[in-house]
Structure 1
Amino acid sequence: MKVLLLSGDFIEDYELYAPLQALEMLGIDVHIVCPDKKVGEEIQTALHILEPGRQTYSEKPGHPFNITHDFAEETKSLDKYAGLIVPGGRFPEYQRYDKRVLDVIRFFMSQNKPVAALCHGLQLLAAAGVLKGRSCSAFPMCQLDVEGGGGKYVDYEAFSKNAYVDGNLVSAPAYPAIGVWLKEFIKLLGVKVQLP
């Protein structure tokens, strides 16, 4: 099974590495792409931290990451992918103007394939016009994006315990929810995990 993960410079570090490693552990092949970056080219990840007394999050350098697959090549045949992961961080704010990225999202949503979107990743779904009539969670500062895109924003006070599923879409507010978010995405993919 293959899934596609959208990425770009200043993607949230945890939202790239945690899904990659968890899905690889289950034998799922994760193809990480970024428009205009070739295989082996580097993107810079970031750590976004909510610090006490600050009005918004700060940004620290995360681990650099080498792109695993070529965006132009992989997006020629999206049928081979079982699902799509749309992490957050800062890359969604600039890629939401990239028609190629929006077309990828539209494909997965129109085909009713599982889509896992997290944090600021919902900005891309809103820009793609696929949230009309849908409910989803996102980082609180993205509520206006969700609602402007025609979606209903689901608010969670406890970031670490909640993911929201609406049909083929699973969303969560931020990286502390990665565990439950991935659990719901894996269910949508139809993957059964058996523990001894």
Structure 2
Amino acid sequence: MKVLLLAGDFVEDYELFAPLKALEMLGIDVHVVCPDKKAGDTVQSAIHFMEEGRQTYSERQGHPFPLTHTFDDVKLAEYAGLVIPGGRFPEYQRYDDRVLFLCKHFFERDLPVAAICHGVQILAAAGVLQGRTCAGFHMCRIDVEAGGASFVEFHPDSKNAHVEGNLVTAPAYNAIGAWMREFIKLLGVKVQLE
């Protein structure tokens, strides 16, 4: 099974690395791609901090992350699902028609899609949220509602994920466990604990 993971400079560090490792642990082949970059090129991640008393999150430089595959070589028919982390990269990739086409592909085929935090900005821009409900970072509410969806309000520290049809969304990195658990279920992967 192959899953596509979309990335870009200043992707949120945890929201890229944790789902990648969770899926790899299950034997899923994860292809991490970024428009205009090739396999072996890097994207710079960022680590976000929700600090008490601050009006928004602060950001520190995270790890440089090597891409596993070349964006232009992606054959969408090969993938069982799509993961869209958050961070700042959705702010600019939502203007890239190639990224929007990619997102629409998964929704047109009712394939599992996992978006967290600011990742919902890309889905809103792709026009795939119309009539749906979804979660995301609370500052993305206006994007979600402008995209025709109802916003599910979770506290940024929440460990909850929201599932509707083929889409699983969550507010921020604290919810990665629930978010990935629900995405793995949508993929049809059975995990048996002994």
With normalisation by structure 1, the TM-score equals: 0.97
Instruction: Give the letter aligned to residue 147 of structure 2.
Output: G
Aligned residue for 2:176? 178
Q: How far does residue 133 in structure 1 lie from its aligned partner after superposition?
A: 0.3
Find the residue that maps to 2:82 and give its secondary structure.
Answer: strand
Aligned residue for 2:135? 137
Aligned counterpart for 2:109 among listed residues 103, 108, 111: 111
Matched, 1:8 2:8: yes
Aligned residue for 1:33? 33
Aligned counterpart for 1:91 among listed residues 89, 92, 113: 89
Aligned residue for 2:44? 44
Instruction: Give the letter aligned to residue 109 of structure 1.
Output: F
Question: Gaps spanning 5+ residues in structure 1: where?
Answer: none
Aligned residue for 1:71? 71
Q: Contact 2:138 / 2:156 at 8 angstroms: preserved in 1?
A: no
Q: In 1, Cα distance between the equivalents of 2:158 and 2:13?
A: 17
How many residue pairs end up in the alignment?
A: 194
Find the residue that maps to 2:115 and give its secondary structure.
Answer: strand
Question: Gaps spanning 5+ residues in structure 2: where?
Answer: none
**Residues 118-172 of structure 1: CA deviation (Å, up to 9, x unaligned):** 0000000000000000000000000000000001100013633210001000000
With normalisation by structure 2, the TM-score equals: 0.98
Provide the alpha-carbon RMSD of the alignment. Answer: 0.8
What pairs with 1:116-195 in structure 2 (closer than 5 Å)?
116-157=114-155, 159-195=157-193
Q: How far does residue 54 in structure 1 lie from its aligned partner after superposition?
A: 1.2
Matched, 1:102 2:100: yes
Find the residue that maps to 1:171 and give its secondary structure.
Answer: strand
